[in-house]
Amino acid sequence: MNEVRSQPGFERYLTPPAFGQLRDAAADGPVVMVNVSAYGSHALLVTAGEAVGVTLPRLDVRSTAKYTRLLLSADNAADVREVLAWLWHSVAEPVFNVLSYYYVTAFGRVPADDQRWPRIWWCPTGPAAFLPLHAAGSATLPGTGRSVLERTVPSYTATLQSLMHARQSEFQAGLDPRVVLGDRATARAEAGLVTQRWPAAKVLELTESTRAAVLAALAEPGPVHFACRGIQKAHDSASSRLSGTDGSPLPIADLVRSPGGFAYVSANEVALDPGSPPDSITQLLPLLHHAGGFQHVIGPLWSVDGDGSIIDSLYTDLAEDGVLDIANAAEALHRTVRAMRQLHPHDPRLWAAHIHVGP
């Protein structure tokens, strides 16, 4: 082992990365790791210069479990508003108060029209895995700055290393997307939203008999729109899968290291086990990014109903000169969600679920 480590470029072979390497993950904005524990909860803010701990006294295991279940079972807008308001006071506001010091107030106010929006990456762990940190804030007081969406362009990452790896990855631009049809009533309508912008997009129906052909097509580079349900158990990453038109499963494990630079998943169903806490790496969308190899992943964090407005608006923003502009995926989703929030400020069910994972 010493002989291997004596070679140039292998000095840290099979050793944990040094913090000097990990802080490179914060080159474009801070990464906020949120930890919930019976011994105390905190956020670790990783900046380009240092790591800063922030104690979160309002965040505990019991309240996290309560609001996670309220969110995943919410059948009215008031429940979702309650979750987002609690998250603002418990996590986002204290985090932003500290970040505004390290970034000279950049996170303490709403950016001016001519200013570049700051980026932030959330990295929730354990019981915090399914909290919509990206949408924390007051849904009843839009325009006051008391919201993550009004101060930053939020994204997620599964780990610091996966974010750094994604930044270094290169994907061929200008490729037509593929659409994978699954067991969603809106699947063909979604395919139409894609093909009207990219007429050469290939539409693939996922069934038990076509599974091998679909996997072969996905082994080729290019963006993918999964017009199917993503299904997962919060405590079991091996169960994460996409569902075909006949209900046949396509495990995320089968997509390991896909060469696709962008993936959109139109639906996400989460099953919580009362006896097991969720784990951040089992979230289907970060799993597609971290293990599946997609540089950018967009989709809902939990199951929501929709009429395709988010998809339509997002692809309109991303379709620049007929090319899917994946490099600006986070900003495009942010603009789309803020516009929807402006139209329906009191009903976060219509805009709060969608997240971006990646650089």
* Structure confidence by residue, pLDDT tens digits, 314-330: 999 998 777 888 889 99
What is the pLDDT, as a whole number, of residue 314? 94
pLDDT at 274: 59
- Cα 221 to chain centroid distance, Å, stands at 21
Q: Which amino acid is at 130?
A: F
Query: For residue 280, what pLDDT is reported?
Result: 53
Average pLDDT, the chain: 83
- Residue 133 in this model has a pLDDT that exceeds 90: yes
- For the cut 50, the answer to whether the pLDDT of residue 1 exceeds it is no
How many CB atoms within 10 Å of residue 314?
Answer: 20
pLDDT at residue 282 is higher than 50: yes
10 pLDDT band, cuts 50/70/90, is very low
In this predicted structure, the answer to whether residue 78 has a pLDDT above a threshold of 70 is: yes
Percentage of the chain lying above the pLDDT 70 cut:
83
Q: Do the beta carbons of residue 270 and residue 302 sit within 8 Å?
A: yes
Q: Tell me the C-alpha distance between 240 and 245, whole Å.
A: 17
Q: Answer yes or no: is pLDDT of 13 > 60.
A: no
Two structure tokens written together for 301: 């964090």
Q: Domain 19-165 class? A: alpha beta
**Distance between terminal CA atoms of the chain?**
33
Per-residue pLDDT averaged across 103-132, rounded?
82
HSE-CB at 123 with a 13 A cutoff on CA atoms is 22
64-73, 231-240, 339-348, 350-359: least confident range: 231-240
Q: Which residues pair with 43 in a beta bridge?
A: 34, 54
For residue 140, the model assigns a pLDDT of 64
Give 242-281 pLDDT, tens digit per residue: 878 887 888 877 876 666 789 999 877 665 555 555 555 5
Could you tell me the pTM of the whole model? Answer: 0.90
Tell me: pLDDT of 132 over 80: yes
Say what the pLDDT of residue 14 is.
45
Query: Taken in order 77, 79, 85, 91, is the CA torsion positive or negative?
Result: negative
Predicted pLDDT at 5: 45
270 bridge partner residues: 232
What does the DSSP 8-state code read for residue 18?
P
Residue 236 has pLDDT above 90, yes or no: no
Cβ contact 289:158 at 8 Å: yes
- CB 286 within 8 Å of CB 156: yes
- In this predicted structure, what is the pLDDT of residue 225? 92
The pLDDT tens digits of the residues spanning 93-107 come to: 999 999 987 775 667
For the cut 60, the answer to whether the pLDDT of residue 173 exceeds it is yes
Q: At what angle do helices 309-318 and 329-343 cross, to 10 degrees?
A: 140
Domain spans, the chain: 19-165, 172-357
